[in-house]
Structure 1
Amino acid sequence: MAKMSKLRLPKWRLWITTLLFCMASADVRYSVPEETKTKYFIGSLSKDLNLDSDRLRFHKARLDYRRYKRYCEVDLDSGNIFVSERIDREMLCGTTSPCLMHFEFILENPLELHNVVLEVQDINDNPPVFPKDSIKLEISEAAPTRSKLQIACARDLDVGMNSVQTYMLNRYVDIVLKSSLDRETKGENSLILSAVDGGNPPKSGTVVIEVFVIDVNDNAPVFSQPLYNTRLFENAALGTSVIKIVATDVDEEISVIGQMDHEKSSSYEMEVQAEDGGGQTGHCKVVIEIDDINDNAPVISVKSLKNQIPENIPPGSEIAVINVKDQDSGENSRVSCSISSSLPFQLQPYIKSYFIITTTRSLDREQIENDNVTITATDGGTPPLFSNLTLNIQVSDINDNSPTFELQTYSYSAYISENNKPSTSVCSVSAKDPDWRQNGTVLYSLVPSEVSGVPVSSFLSINGDTGVIHAVRSFDYEQFRNFTVKAVARDNGSPPLSSNVTVKVFITDENDNSPQILYPVPDGKSLMTEMVPKATLSGSLVSKVIAVDADSGQNAWLSYQIVKSTDPGLFSIGLHSGEIKTQRDISESDNMKQNLVILHVGL
């Protein structure tokens, strides 16, 4: 019999349990049974966190679900948290108990972060299930009474009292031999085994056990030690040998057959059973610790962002909240964050894995309209891993610039000829405003004033959009020669900003006035009389014509000439002086009456 057992291949059965560890600290903790209906009330965040529910929308209250689905939501009108999607505890946590989900309740203005832990309670919604519908069990006829025979237990996905309660012991069911066996008397037995959980009402599962009595075999498998411990890096290649275990001179090797991830499972516990052909068994435990390697770069997530900020935002104002996590452990998970020091922002640690970005100095949209803020997160591994995230921050405009005239420090001088036509363009003023859109839109107007007691609007108008100044009326140089007005440039901001500039208007003269004779004084006609002595000698001053011209400059210069006379050779007139003199002596033979026609001309 012993020889026969050596020739038979040993049977190995491995049960693997993943051990997950978590640590939680929370501001509030709630519990909810799995499989509850949507809208199921969980608790009141506003009450438990002492928050004003009327201000939740203003503070942009929200839940950050991290890696979880949106299993629950917050009613921003009441502050109540409720179930929004079916929760299956077994799918969410497996056999891990308690089953905890971690959320963060975030409020802005000012920033508040509250940890919320939701425990999903198990209900008895799964019956015990055996690995197989039937189990073949071979027992030696020499097995002593009270011998214990192990078989794989039923598995219940539920936990606690809702899991299998009747026979669970180290994950095996012991079948106790009550009397000796005789293969010749009865070689086969059939049993029905039931597994019952502790739910209310309880659920059960059954399996048929076929017991076969075999010849004597007293060589039960024996392991060299009851507990094997080993360590393995999570990036171990497929096929890597993990550990060798020994039972009754037979070496067996456990090797890697799948991808391991320390972040999902930091250790594995195996129960190894060796069974010979006679039904004799031995078992040992294998614990494999999975060591972390730096295989995860930090993950940067934005929890709050003001991607558009006004340029007058005070230094120290919060514009973003980020969360940085590294799934590795130990030094591999220690994270440092930084942004460029040349930017008008700084990155500050907040709480736990949170950072806030604040302004460090005043902003000016007219210089920089937007900033790209690149956040670099680096872990403490060797070599370190890093990740980058770029935030685009738009700087919005405020009306902080007045329109500026091109000749702000001077004044505009405009010249227009008299007798102009109304609507004639006098000059154009121009102002610029570096602000954006309506804040930078410039409108022009004239400051209300008077010119010689007459409103300036009777003389000039300005195009509000272009700044072109037009004459409203025809000007007369002889009435006034210049005047001054002020033009205003006003933006369309709220409140509007403005500036003004002086415009000096000069009227230029035109030759639009005929000379007027002042002497000799006309008698109402164009005929004037002058008495001259008869014995007047040559070169004597006989008379002088004095005329004036209301124009100015060259337009007022006059010239004189005799265009007709009774005796053309008797008199002459000074071209510019208007003096009439004799060219020869007046004799008795000359006519007693001499007629002179004098022309005075403006140059």
Structure 2
Amino acid sequence: MEQSGRQAWIERWRCIAYMVALVTFWTEASAQIRYSISEEVKEGSVVGNIAKDLGIDKATLKSREYRIVGSSTEPLFRLNQDDGMLYVSRKVDREEICERSNACVINLKTVLENPLEIHYVAVEVLDVNDHSPVFPEKEKRLEVFESTLPGARFQLQPARDPDGGQFTVQQYRLSHNDHFRLEVKERGEDRKMPFLILQKQLDREAMREHKLTLTAIDGGRPARSGTIEILIEVLDVNDNSPVFTKDAYSAILNENSVPGTLVIQVNATDLDEGANSEIVYSFGKEMDIHLQTIFNIDPITGEIKVTGVIDFEENESYEIDIQASDKGTIPFSTDKTVLIKVIDLNDNAPEIEVTSFSKSVPEDSRVGTTVALISVNDLDSGPNGKVSCFISEDVPFTISPSLQDNMYAIVTKSQLDREEKSFYELTVVAKDAGQPPLSSEKTISVVVSDVNDNSPQFSLSPYTFYITENNDLVSPVFSVRASDLDDGDNAHISYHILRDNNGHSIGLFLNINSENGDILALKSFDFE
């Protein structure tokens, strides 16, 4: 009974002690011991003398147990039982303990046993600028169309700094760039949001990519900073027309070139990219439809080839209108003219035409008398169209150039003699100066007309005839015959008997037939 009474007395005093401890707690809670340390202090650094600050003497410490209880952060600190000194037991990292809280306070509960006393100690961990601002990414890529208007805004991810207060990010800086500027807006406590502002329109053809550096700076002394590379890819807009690589295109083409012959290849470029820079070649919309049957242009390569007949005599040159267009949604195009000069080939023989001709030429014509006029024409040009004419046979005729171009005269070059030759076949040859030369021929028939330039000639001179007396007056006594080398009337002969000046003539005895030369006796002869 006595033992149970003693036990009840002990429990009652413990309850009283507990109530006293509660009162002490509430008293000390309003006036607790508070220490401050900087993070990153070395292990074993002194935080403070709790016993001294609480007025606990060393004797009490030796007779009563004094310790830290009920704290998850207990491993951070160590309490010396002998002198009541509070030490740092390991490295203190404020950012690890308090994360991003501005005030980092560690509350410790110390217990002094027998009788129970509870004391509360607050340890504030002061921030040290031991972290640099860090961006979520090392590199940020943005795609911006070159047609984007100035004033466009692009939000960037802010940098994070585990430090607190003034050691967090205080400002942002953007590397120099003519097209962008930086704008920073406050978003809540200690939070700054950076924006890129387009201040000058982009031109992809001038610069395809812009590289910027964004720097975040904290408020430490010295300040710490972190950077992020911002790569801005300028997206293409079809704002450029194709441009031909040459100011003028010209080509030389031989006539009669076979279909498929390459005339020239045109080329255009476009400063845009993708479909906006892909070029399609075509003939101009106003190009003559006839030319499109002679030439063809490859829409991909720009090669112009022959598809029809190239005839210099039809066209000495061609002007072809071509067009280069891109494949943009709204395509841009550029026009150009290609000049094609056709080189003449000797593919046409001279043509001979008789423009004037005499049916016959008198044999007594003077040397140089014109027999015929001819014109010679060659459709080729240059040496291929330069023609020379000559007569292939050895005849008393020659060709003389006329005062008019391509006109020639066939003239006599020596005296004619119809009785020697009355008909000529002249072969006129026209030959050009091409390589190899081409020629043509024309046959002209020339008749030499008769002139009465020959006298009749008796077959015998003199004639000796014998007649018998008592001749028959009906039958011819004898006949004479004469011939003339001339022709026609000039060769027609009539006969008659000449009389002498005294009127005596054998004609008194004889008579001659003027047509055939038969001589008749006008009377019978008497030998006696």
Place the TM-score, normalised by the shorter chain, in its bin.
0.5 to 0.7
Amino acid at match of 1:273: V
Q: Is the alpha carbon distance of 1:548 and 1:274 closer, same or farther for their aligned partners in structure 2, counting shifts above 3 Å?
A: same
Looking at structure 2, the residues matched to 295 and 259 of structure 1 have their Cα atoms a distance apart, in angstroms, of 13
**Separation (CA, whole Å) in 1 of partners of 2:149 and 2:318:** 47
2:238/2:328 contact within 8 Å kept: yes
Residue identity in the other structure for 2:382 = G
Contact 1:324 1:335 in 2 (8 A): no
CA shift, 1:444, in A, is 0.9
Residue in structure 1 matching 2:283, options 446, 458, 472: 446
Please tell me the residue identity of whatever aligns with 2:225: F
Deviation at 1:539, TM superposition (A): 5.4
Deviation of 1:171 after TM superposition, in Å, equals: 6.6
Q: Corresponding residue for 2:152?
A: 317
Distance 2:14 2:260 in 1: 124
Matched with 2:458 is: none
Q: Which has the larger radius of gyration?
A: 2
**Higher helix share goes to which structure?**
2
Paired with 2:213 and 2:23, the residues of 1 have a C-alpha distance of 56
State whether residues 354 and 372 of structure 2, in contact with CA within 8 Å, keep that contact through their aligned partners in structure 1: no
Bigger fraction of residues in strand: 1
Query: Match of 2:41, as an amino acid?
Result: A
Match for residue 387 of structure 1? 226
Q: How does 1:172-571 map to 2 (within 5 A)?
A: 227-244=32-49, 245-246=51-52, 247-249=56-58, 250=61, 251-263=83-95, 264-265=97-98, 266-275=104-113, 279-301=114-136, 307-342=142-177, 344-352=179-187, 353-407=192-246, 409-410=247-248, 412-449=249-286, 451=288, 454-521=289-356, 531-538=360-367, 543-565=372-394, 567=395, 570-571=396-397
Letter in 2 for 1:229: R
CA separation in 1, counterparts of 2:330 and 2:32? 81
Work out whether residues 263 and 306 of structure 2, in 8 Å CA contact, stay in contact via their aligned partners in 1: yes
Output the amino acid matched with 1:571.
Answer: F
* Aligned pairs (5 A) from 1:23-102: none
Change (3 A) 1:594 1:457: closer
Q: How far 1:529 moved relative to its partner?
A: 5.5
Answering whether residue 427 of structure 2 is matched by residue 597 of structure 1, we say: yes
Instruction: State how far apart, in whole Å, the 1-side matches of 2:91 and 2:307 are.
Output: 90
- Tell me the distance in 2 between the aligned counterparts of 1:152 and 1:535: 176
When the two structures are superposed, what TM-score results if normalisation uses the length of structure 2?
0.64
CA distance in 2, matches of 1:390, 1:405: 38
Alpha-carbon distance in structure 1 between the residues aligned to 2:143 and 2:432: 72
RMSD, aligned α-carbons: 3.5
* Separation in structure 1 between the aligned mates of residue 313 and residue 10 of structure 2, nearest angstrom: 146
Aligned AA (1:322) = Q
**AA paired with 1:518?**
E
1:148 equivalent in structure 2 = 16
Instruction: Quote the offset at 1:349 in angstroms.
Output: 0.7
Q: CA deviation at 1:577?
A: 6.9
Question: Is the alpha carbon distance of 1:348 and 1:257 closer, same or farther for their aligned partners in structure 2, counting shifts above 3 Å?
Answer: same
Change (3 A) 1:558 1:243: same
1:121-132 superposed matches below 5 A:
none
| Whole-angstrom CA distance in 1 between matches of 2:33 and 2:252 | 107
String of CA shifts for 1:479-533, please: whole Å, max 9, x gaps. Answer: 3333323111111111111111112333332222222223345xxxxxx756434
Cα–Cα, structure 1 residues 143 and 543, in superposed 2: closer, same or farther, change >3 Å?
Answer: closer
Structure 1: segments with no counterpart, 5+ residues: 1-137, 154-167, 173-222, 522-527
Q: 1:415–1:423: structure 2 CA closer, same or farther, 3 Å change rule? A: same
TM-score (norm 1): 0.57
Q: Does the CA contact (< 8 Å) of 1:448 and 1:456 recur in 2?
A: no
Q: What does the per-residue CA deviation read over 1:530-588, in whole Å, with 9 as the maximum and x for residues that have no partner?
A: 643433445565554431112222222111122113x4xx3333488744444444468
Superposition deviation, residue 399 in structure 1? 1.3
| Residues 25 and 120 in structure 2, CA contact (< 8 A), matched pair in contact too | no
Aligned equivalent of 2:517: none
Mapped to 2, the partners of 1:481 and 1:241 lie a distance apart of 108
Give, in whole Å, the separation in 1 of the partners of 2:307 and 2:346: 22
Deviation track 1:446-490 (CA, whole Å, cap 9, x = no partner) reads: 124464xx5432222211111111222113222333332311111
Contact kept in structure 2, 1:490 and 1:498, CA below 8 Å: yes
Letter in 2 for 1:274: L
User: Where in structure 2 are there 5+ consecutive unaligned residues?
Assistant: 1-5, 62-82, 99-103, 434-528
Partners of 1:289 and 1:539 in 2: CA distance: 140
Residues 380-425 of structure 1 deviation map (CA, whole Å, 9 limit, x = unaligned): 1012111112233222212111111123x43x22333333323332
Q: Is the 8 A contact 1:449 1:485 kept in 2?
A: no
The whole-number CA distance in structure 2 between the counterparts of 1:258 and 1:268 is 14
2: CA distance, partners of 1:539 / 1:547: 20
Q: Residues 47-93 of structure 1: CA distance to partner in whole angstroms, max 9, x if unpaired?
A: xxxxxxxxxxxxxxxxxxxxxxxxxxxxxxxxxxxxxxxxxxxxxxx
Paired letter, 1:436 = E
Question: Identity, % of aligned pairs?
Answer: 25
How many residues are aligned here? 383
